[in-house]
Amino acid sequence: MTTAAIQQESEHPFLSGNFAPVHDEVTVTDLKVTGTIPGYLDGRYLRIGPNPLRAPDPRHYHWFLGDGMAHGIRLRDGAATWYRNRWVRSSSVARELGEQWAGGAHSAGFDFATNTNIIGHAGKTLALTEAGVRPYELTEELDTVGPTDFCGTLFGGYTAHPKHDPKTGELHAVSYNPLRGNLMSYTVTGVDGRVRRAVDIPLPAQTMMHDFTLTEKYVVIYDLPVILDLTTAVKHAPARAVARLLTRLATRHATPDFVLRAAMRGSERSTLPSTGMPYRWTPEHGARVGVMPREGSAADIRWFEVEPCYVFHALNGYDHTGPDGEQIVLDVVRHPSVFTTGDQLFTDSITLDRWTIDLGTGRVREQRLHDQAQEFPRVDERLVGREHRYGYTVGFAAGPGASPGGILRHDLREGSADRVDFGPGREPGEFVFVPSAPDAGENDGVVMGFVYDQAENRSDLVLLDGQTLAPVATVHIPVRVPHGFHGNWVPSGG
């Protein structure tokens, strides 16, 4: 890499500071702990994020496209027994490391080192990304088992944000694939790890659908104005005409399955180019929310218009009876626009909002809940699709590569928010709530997440009391955990 390229990398907001990748896989046992880890915690805290294996071209690098690296800490009997970080061994990562790729699940999606979410389901640890990418299964210790097609039942990719139904344990998902035209897919995966239900839903254009909301009765999808545009990923003018043609074909016509299968197999022999995100902000598309009964079809969807915006993440949603009849309440993190200013993802206009859909009148009421810049909302997972009182978000300062500054706990019943800061130069990531017992109260437990310390250039796993937000325990990690995307608490046997 040239001196100029190294300087560009050091200045790139998502290749510098704690967004910069780490270069080693480590295993640390018997970690030092300050405070007391509650005895009811028996499982793993897992988190995943982009961590490019090879130095990317900073002129074209986008944070969303880095090779995925999983991080985890095992908690048991009041101790932190290990920390591990491992790259997801996609075909390209395995080649780069000189290892044999595990192979398999060729029709489950495009091959990529998944980097967006990591969950436990049906006794397996799954690393996930959207846009037609196949899931990867990892071991308990985060080594790669290989890509998975959910026992032969998954075709063409999955989502980064499935939802566990707390009553049935089933996994609900809304997924899209750039080669399936304007079709998105709603699937339900059983506790046996097999897809038992799949519904294709046509849209006017192919939109980037990062998240959705599940209630007890409905599936809520967000058709918002971020549209597939392959020209945004092309840097050379002669190729843009071809990219425009491919965009029109991709958004209007689903690729035949045999062509899609060939493309998915072909992805195993190539490396995803770092040419930027192939989506653009298109406000003329409009913005709407679709409501489909859980056991319904595309013909049953009702659409409700909202003001143009984008929702990367929904906190939660639930069914409600209002003065005019049935309602759906959606709490979302609202971006007024995205993909308009290069690498800037976090602005001071990102807010926590509530959208109340009145199914009787057809109206949507949009309400501002909190106007501080924030992202990565989480709710007690036992209340997914049910009425919730508390939610947790990460507060950000505005600007390119903005550093996270604190954790916000929202009391949505009282309309208040409490903030926890971790001291100068200490930057938190997404925090998740873990109850003290299956039947404990909504905030009776701990919230946990990684916190980076600039001065020491390393990270901690910090546990806060869910009721008081006071520190409970800090697990000291001798290395740095880069800022990433999402993670979860996976109890032993989960």
Structural domain of 429 = 3-491
Mean pLDDT of 221-244: 66
Instruction: Categorize the per-residue pLDDT at 345 as very low, low, confident or very high, splitting at 50, 70 and 90.
Output: low
DSSP designation for 160: S
The owner of tokens 């909302």 is 377
Q: Looking at residue 233, what is its pLDDT?
A: 52
Q: Which tens digits make up the pLDDT trace of 105-147?
A: 999 999 999 999 999 999 999 999 999 999 999 999 999 999 9
Q: Looking at residue 5, what is its pLDDT?
A: 43
Lowest mean pLDDT among 47-56, 217-226, 327-336, 346-355: 346-355
Query: What's the helix, strand, coil split of the chain in %, to 5?
Result: 15, 40, 45
Structure tokens of 43? 């499982």
* Residues 208, 311 contacting (CB under 8 angstroms): no
Q: Which tens digits make up the pLDDT trace of 299-331?
A: 999 999 999 999 999 999 999 998 888 999 999
Q: Which tens digits make up the pLDDT trace of 141-174?
A: 999 999 999 999 999 999 999 999 999 999 999 9
Model confidence, pTM:
0.93
Q: Which tens digits make up the pLDDT trace of 406-424?
A: 999 999 999 999 999 999 9
Number of structural domains the chain divides into: 1
Q: What is the CATH number of the domain that holds 484?
A: 2.130.10.10
HSE at residue 223, side-chain half, CA atoms within 13 A, is 22
Q: Is the pLDDT of residue 104 over 60?
A: yes
Please tell me which residue, 309 or 3, carries the higher pLDDT value.
Answer: 309
Q: Looking at residue 4, what is its pLDDT?
A: 42
Q: Looking at residue 62, what is its pLDDT?
A: 82
| Mean predicted lDDT score pLDDT of the chain | 91
Q: Looking at residue 313, what is its pLDDT?
A: 97
The rounded percent of the chain whose pLDDT value lies above 90 is 78
Cα–Cα separations (whole angstroms), residue 455 to 46, 54, 291, 433: 24, 26, 48, 27
Q: Is the pLDDT of residue 450 over 90?
A: yes
DSSP designation for 264: H
Q: Is the pLDDT of residue 6 over 80?
A: no
Q: Looking at residue 9, what is its pLDDT?
A: 52
* Residues 203, 236 contacting (CB under 8 angstroms): no
* Residues 385, 166 contacting (CB under 8 angstroms): yes
Q: Name beta bridge partners: 322.
A: 325
How far is the C-alpha of 148 from the C-alpha of 136, rounded, in Å?
6
Q: Looking at residue 232, what is its pLDDT?
A: 55
> By C-alpha distance, which of 147, 221, 137 is closest to 187?
221
How far is the C-alpha of 271 from the C-alpha of 178, rounded, in Å?
17
Q: Looking at residue 7, what is its pLDDT?
A: 45
**E strand or H helix at 242:** helix 237-252
Q: Is the pLDDT of residue 57 over 60?
A: yes
Mean pLDDT of 269-284: 78
* Residues 123, 142 contacting (CB under 8 angstroms): no
Hey, is 416 helix, strand or coil? strand
Instruction: Categorize the per-residue pLDDT at 494 as very low, low, confident or very high, splitting at 50, 70 and 90.
Output: confident
